[in-house]
Structure 1
Amino acid sequence: MPTVETEDLSLHYEETGTPTGDVVLLLHGWPDDASTWDGVAPTLAMAGFRVIVPTLRGFGQSVFRTAEAPRTGNSAIHAMDMIELLDALGVEAAAVIGHDWGSNIAEALAVGWPDRITRITMLATPPRLGGMPTPPFHQAQRYWYHWFMATERGAEAVRADPHGFAHIHWENWAPTGWFDEATFARVARSWDNPDWVDVTLHSYRSRWDNAEPDPRSVWLEDRIKATKSLSLPTLFTNGDVDGVTAQDSFDKVPAKFTGPFEMIGLAGVGHFPQRENPQAVAELALAFVTGQRP
């Protein structure tokens, strides 16, 4: 399994497609792993792209190199990991497609390295440009797990049963019956990484100021908060029955983009579009990276 050595990590990734082709970086979310792109990556690879699919810090085979490295998980530090990956692989520029955490990592990459990120697709999770205001009560209710992890008892419960904690989100975030238990069990092995819980807790606590972001990434977190909009070509895709993000939260997305932009809702799809309807997402991804949309 290929890895690159970053400042913090032995970072695992998979690569398919044409080595000399334009690069597409596929970023998974939470609670998920890199196999979420199994129904999308082959379409891009067969079209001649160089497709790079990393495993995020704290997941699967991406492990911290030292005991001293901070087990942080804010979006900006993930973005910095991805730049280290691209540097190690000799990639100067890439299109980025991200889901959930990966969506906000794609946004962070576009803010921090606008000369290297050619276009982004964000799946399911809205941008955080301009900062994260306290959500209205109906969205705060959907974010119950954020507030749960902000408490010590909640953190203890997640440590005691990380698979159970993840399973309830798979059940609640998309229509009943969208996954089988064998698939969940395979993906759940990625959360047996000894640092998965710490990275998870830090990710959610830091976004609401219950924990400080990784100090090395403060400059980028500040830049994301100061950036009101992006002008690079962007595609935003969401399911119309997403169980974690209320539909009115998606209404605010178009105002965050001033360049070529398209927003596409998928009927009958919840929070995991690339798993629930991989054919539709693969077709959209291919149209996007070939410049056919937006």
Structure 2
Amino acid sequence: MALLHGWPDDATTWRDVALSQAGIRTITPWLRGCGPTRFVSPSTFRDGRIEALAKDAFDLMDALEIERFSVMGHDWGARIAYALAAGVPVRLETIAALSLGYSPCGAFRVPPFEQSRAWWYQWFMSADLGAEAVAEDPKGFARLQWETWSPPGWFDDATFEAVARSFENPDWLAITLSNYRSRWRDEARDPRYDELHSKIAATESLDVPTLMIQGAADGTVLTNSAEDKDRLFTNGHRRVVLDGIGHFPTREAPDVIADAVLQHLESNRLE
């Protein structure tokens, strides 16, 4: 099972989600621009769009010679999971998406005012002066999200500082800005991902069994944004809302996540 982390987080977010103890082989990469990842060429455009990240995931599984697999993704990772299900559904057994509901065709539409207010950081980065401010203090910007996206007291300084070392990657800022700014404005892109982008944009419903988990106390993806999605899934969609949990359920409630995902895998196990 591929475990794909979100933003602003890193691959250690899965450390306490005990799936391997149940015999599940897990692969937990850092997304491009995070932690130890590096681009082969300095001239490669730093494309942070979801289709670029999804292609990275496919390329990794190809390199490992894994033909069919399940995916669990959190935040950006959830968007990647949906993109993988749209792009090459025959490769996927199941997906589990944490903290983010499905957007048909991978489209970014301006949400209602309450959700738009919760997404202030996306509008902030979309403004040139806002992007410059994030560049001045990327860790401070990331920490503000940790402090406001989940109930107080869910993390300590040592945990954040350990994860924030992943944000020291020289490409973290470029990938972050590319991901968010390209949602709302015409940004430069790597044409190598245009084919996958077109396939995602043409896919409204998904045929991969899907589990969606979100925290009821999530301060950035409001619970009502993921309601009434069942019609968009042709092979099953189950939504679980966790009381008292915010945007980082892998860190706030890892045992609950593990139990739910193991049940999801078992109920969709191929005979």
Residues in 2 aligned to 1:157 and 1:252: alpha-carbon distance in whole angstroms = 37
Which residue of structure 2 lines up, in the alignment, with residue 17 of structure 1?
none
More strand by share: 1
* Cα displacement string for residues 231-280 of structure 1 (whole angstroms, at most 9, x for unaligned residues): 21100000001100122211143232121221100010000111101110
Structure 1 61/289 Cα, relative in aligned 2: closer, same or farther at 3 Å? Answer: same
Which residue of structure 2 lines up, in the alignment, with residue 183 of structure 1?
159
Which residue of structure 2 lines up, in the alignment, with residue 251 of structure 1?
227
Matches within 5 A, 1:17-56: 24-40=1-17, 43-56=18-31
* Cα displacement string for residues 16-74 of structure 1 (whole angstroms, at most 9, x for unaligned residues): xxxxxxxx00000000000000011xx32122221100100000001111111111111
| Between 57-66 and 203-212, the greater mean CA deviation after superposition | 203-212
Shift of 1:139: 1.1
- The yes-or-no answer on 1:92 pairing with 2:64 is no
Task: Give the count of matched residue pairs.
Answer: 268
* Cα displacement string for residues 162-218 of structure 1 (whole angstroms, at most 9, x for unaligned residues): 110000000110001111110000000000001100000000011223314432112
Shift of 1:96: 0.2
Scaled by the length of structure 2, what TM-score is found? 0.95
Matches within 5 A, 1:1-294: 24-40=1-17, 43-130=18-105, 131-291=107-267
Unaligned runs of 5+ in 1: 1-23
Runs of 4+ in structure 1 over 4 Å off: none
Higher RCO (CA 8 Å, separation ≥ 6 residues): 2
* Cα displacement string for residues 138-175 of structure 1 (whole angstroms, at most 9, x for unaligned residues): 11111111111111111111111011000000011000
Residues in 2 aligned to 1:149 and 1:127: alpha-carbon distance in whole angstroms = 23
CA RMSD of aligned residues (A): 1.3
- Paired residue secondary structure (2:121): helix
Shift of 1:220: 1.8
Query: Does structure 2 retain, via aligned residues, the 8 Å contact 1:150–1:210?
Result: no
Shift of 1:114: 1.1
- Paired residue secondary structure (2:19): helix
Fraction of identical pairs, as percent: 46
